[in-house]
Structure 1
Amino acid sequence: MTTGKIQFAEWDGTFVLKFIGEIRLTLCSALDGTIEQMFTAVNFSSIVIDLTETRSIDSTTLGLLAKLSILSREKVGLLPMLVTTNPDITRLLQSMGFDQVFNIVDSPLPQEDDLTDLPVQDQSEEVVKAKVIEAHQILMSLNESNREAFRDLVSALERS
């Protein structure tokens, strides 16, 4: 059972993802699918990720957020905005090098009622493993510290 959720909305080409509670691997398939859909939208103009209600976030999710930033930079030439008011989450993001791939803001956004929950998706073990490996490889590409931190995990997953 998941203890967190991700909500999504789109307003005039601005895509908003709001992470609430403890964000874990169980939400990653839906998040990855939503990331892919965002970049196929005709009116795509910007991305805002709201982490103001996030209590914790796992490394696979962080890897998918890094993927989102890399795609945004490649496809439209902009860095997504990442909003965080939790000092622990901010410290984690900075330690992962996210200040290089996101515009990090510490002021909360106005509340929006139009957000809808992303569905939890059941995936095979192989699909989940591939997503975990991809997410961690993306994190490893951000800096040497991440490369050291996740090298053994990625090697073990690739061998299994």
Structure 2
Amino acid sequence: MNPGKIEVAANSGVYVIKLSGDVRLNMCSALEQYLDQMFVDAAFKTVLIDLSEAEGVDSTTLGQLAKISIISQQKFNLIPSIITPRVDITRILLSMGFDKVFYLLSDQSEELGELNELVCSQTNESEDEVREKVIEAHEILMSLNEDNKNTFQELVDCLQDKNNNPRG
């Protein structure tokens, strides 16, 4: 698998987030910072997520993507779209319930324009801060459907226990 990369673009309130390669937890901080900026943009109209070149997306990143939809619906009353032509990635999205919170598009009908890569700089986040972000991402996934809840509950419980008993 190719290393993960996140590229972004914005034009007149339309945001594009493209994930390529194998996107993992270590990229989530840069994505989260970008999303914070995106959602305070007064010109925000919509967001399109392009997974056409994604080879793998871990569950924490999927939780971040689900958060995009939840915030978009709460703040702007809109359902974002995901371009997902790969059968394997689409299968994962469907199993996670993403079809309930996103429009899933199987092909890319137009050029997305020039994208800029998000730089995943070394963060000064503590282990506890990273753990909290992982917990939040998985709790979001758990809120999408019962299967996700069953799949991730033990992980979340374990991570929360480590927060309460760091040496345990």
Question: How far is the alpha carbon of 1:9 from its aligned partner?
Answer: 0.5
Partners of 2:116 and 2:130 lie apart in 1 by: 23
TM-score after normalising by structure 2: 0.91
Asked whether 1:118 is paired with 2:118, we answer yes
Partner of 1:40: 40
Partner of 2:135: 133
Question: How far is the alpha carbon of 1:124 from its aligned partner?
Answer: 2.2
Which aligned pairs between 1:1-160 and structure 2 lie closer than 5 A? 3-121=3-121, 122=123, 123-160=125-162
TM-score after normalising by structure 1: 0.96
AA paired with 2:144?
A: L
Q: Which has the larger radius of gyration?
A: 2
Partners of 2:49 and 2:115 lie apart in 1 by: 12
Partners of 1:116 and 1:147 lie apart in 2 by: 35
Partners of 1:148 and 1:98 lie apart in 2 by: 16
**Cα separation, partners in 2 of 1:102 and 1:76, compared to 1, 3 Å:** same
Unmatched 5+ residue regions in structure 2? 163-168
SS of 1:65's equivalent in the other structure is helix
- Contact 2:16–2:112 (Cα < 8 Å) also in 1: no
AA paired with 2:6?
A: I
Partners of 1:116 and 1:127 lie apart in 2 by: 27
Pairs aligned (count): 159
Unmatched 5+ residue regions in structure 1? none
Partners of 2:109 and 2:88 lie apart in 1 by: 19
Cα RMSD, aligned residues only? 1.2
AA paired with 1:12?
A: S
Partners of 1:112 and 1:93 lie apart in 2 by: 22
Deviating 4+ runs (over 6 angstroms): none
Question: How far is the alpha carbon of 1:79 from its aligned partner?
Answer: 0.5
Partners of 1:57 and 1:76 lie apart in 2 by: 26
Partners of 2:55 and 2:10 lie apart in 1 by: 24
Partners of 1:58 and 1:35 lie apart in 2 by: 18
Measured against aligned partners, the alpha-carbon deviations of 1:5-26 in whole angstroms (never above 9, x if no partner) come to 1001001110000001000001
